[in-house]
Structure 1
Amino acid sequence: MSDEFTSHGAALDEDGLAAALDLAKVSAAQRWAVLAVETSGNGSFPGFCC
């Protein structure tokens, strides 16, 4: 099994994000809290978090 990550996905739009939050049963604030902690304030893209 390869450890290399490859993605062909696209960024979530507003509707996709709302659906993902509903599916995970978390709020946007909870999601941002996890991202801030797990990424040390740096997401995948410049300016992504906080």
Structure 2
Amino acid sequence: MTMSSHLNELRKKHQNLSEMVEQEQRNPGTDDLYIVDLKKQKLRLKEEISRLTS
């Protein structure tokens, strides 16, 4: 896997997590801990993307 394809995959996963967080926040029955976990995953991906592009 090339670096650019790896970065694209990370960005795609980050975007998917963003959409999931938004969707779950609109759902009143969603567990807050689940949303926190999604946000942590999203942050880890963002940090990885930043580290690889710096």
State the TM bucket, normalised to the shorter chain. 0.3 to 0.5
TM-score for the superposition, normalised by structure 2? 0.32
The structure with the largest helix share of the pair is 2
TM-score for the superposition, normalised by structure 1? 0.34
